[in-house]
Each structure stands twice: as C-alpha cells, then as structure tokens.
C-alpha cells in the first residue's frame, strides 16, 4: 500500500513538472545560450548525520549541515555512487531537470541534477522514522503534529500543491520543509531537505 501511494505521488509530480517544462521550454533554451548556470556555493560544515546525530540541538542548523546515510546535499552521486551511498534503487523517475530515486524500501527519496549528478534534495518518509536519531524530528515525522512543529521550529509558511496532493510547511531559511501528502484516505508524512537558495542581489 505504501509503495502504491509513493508511485501515485511520483506520477503526479512527473505530470506537473512536464506541464511546467512545456510552458517554459523556450525561455529556458534562450537562457542557456546566453549564460551558463551558476555553480552553487559548496556546503559548509559541520555536518550531522540523520541516523546518528541530534541535529536540532544545534540552533543554527540548515540543510547544508544535514547528511543522509553519509551523503550531503551537493555531493556527486553519478554512476554507481548512488547505490553505494543509499542502497539499491527501489524506484526511479526522470523529471524535467533531475532524477528521482527511492531507496531503503522506498523510505527515502533522492533528487539529483541530470547534468552534474549532484544531490539537490533529500526527502525522508515516515517509514524511515525509527532510524532517525533526533527525537524532535522523529516525533514530528511520526505524529505529524503541527502544533509541535511550531513549538520546535517557529512559524512556517504554507504551500499547497494540488498536483501531487501535498501541503508543505516551509522554513525557507533552513532549506527544510515538513510535507504531508493526502492520497485518498491515506496520509504520507515527509521531511524534505533542499539546497539553500542564494539570496537575491540588491542594488
């Protein structure tokens, strides 16, 4: 049942991104001719492993500090490195600009850039909760308690995504989101860690 729910999430995500890619294909092609994509800054330590460390005891933590099974955002996962880092691939999908793979019995998802093989985003589902060392993150992922989320991390912004039937509770300055997928009568909860966006230049 859980695997079928994840396949439904993936299908909705692929469809939504395909539509977005079609509507913006020409501007992207023009931009690629005029300017090469800027390489993001290298992640800065210290690094904390989700399965070993209590991440939230460090008040200034962001997604740049998070490691999943020995890998951090920005790491090269090309070739056989993906399997060595996260275990065998349970499911994979090609999205507009990245690949999505699921590992550890579909309990974690890894998004990697197609062009570089770098890890861009980790998504950890509630079935992975027993392996998370941080008691606050584990409780959040297990309970889905939004009051507890606010108490521990402060106020969030909300993004609704009807395409994949999810609600995201966003902490943009940390590169962290708590995501709730509603698929019929079933609910899937996830922690999402993404590369931090560079601040916009001000004149």
Condensed to tens digits (0 to 9), the pLDDT of residues 58-106 reads 989 999 999 999 999 999 988 788 888 899 999 999 988 899 999 999 9
Question: Which residue in the block uniquely carries the two structure tokens 């402060």?
Answer: 154
- 8 with 183: CB under 8 angstroms? yes
The predicted model gives 170-185 an average pLDDT of 93
Place of tokens 């939230």: 56
**Residue among 99, 70, 73, 66 nearest 86 (CA):** 70
pLDDT at 20 over 50: no
- Indicate whether 11 pLDDT > 70: no
Give the Å distances, CA to CA, from 146 to 21, 141, 152, 155, 160.
33, 10, 10, 10, 15
pLDDT-above-70 percentage for the chain: 75
Peptide bond into 46 cis (omega under 30): yes
Instruction: Give the pLDDT confidence score for residue 23 in this predicted structure.
Output: 42
Residues in the chain, overall count = 203
Structure tokens that stand for 111 in this block: 């998004």
pLDDT digits 0-9 by tens, 98-153: 999 999 999 999 999 999 989 999 999 999 999 999 999 999 999 999 999 999 99
Q: Does residue 57 register a pLDDT over 90?
A: yes
Mean pLDDT for all residues in the chain? 82
pLDDT at 17 over 80: no
Which of 30-39, 125-134, 187-196 has the weakest average pLDDT? Answer: 30-39
Q: How far apart are the first and last CA of the chain?
A: 52
């Amino acid at each position: 049942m859980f695997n079928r729910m994840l396949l439904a999430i993936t299908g909705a995500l692929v469809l939504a991104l395909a539509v977005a890619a079609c509507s913006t294909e020409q501007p992207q092609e023009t931009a690629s001719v005029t300017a090469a994509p800027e390489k993001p800054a290298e992640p800065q330590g210290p690094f904390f492993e989700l399965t070993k460390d209590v991440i939230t005891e460090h008040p200034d933590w962001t997604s740049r500090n998070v490691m999943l099974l020995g890998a951090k955002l920005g790491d090269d996962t090309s070739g056989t490195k993906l399997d060595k880092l996260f275990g065998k691939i349970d499911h994979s999908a090609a999205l507009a600009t990245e690949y999505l793979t699921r590992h550890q019995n579909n309990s974690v998802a890894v998004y990697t850039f197609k062009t570089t093989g770098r890890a861009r985003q980790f998504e950890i589902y509630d079935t992975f909760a027993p392996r998370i060392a941080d008691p606050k993150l584990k409780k959040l992922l297990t309970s889905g308690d939004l009051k507890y989320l606010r108490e521990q991390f402060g106020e969030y912004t909300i993004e609704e995504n009807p395409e994949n039937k999810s609600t995201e509770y966003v902490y943009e300055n940390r590169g962290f989101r708590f995501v709730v997928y509603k698929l019929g009568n079933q609910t899937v909860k996830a922690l999402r860690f993404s590369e931090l966006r560079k601040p916009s230049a001000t004149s």
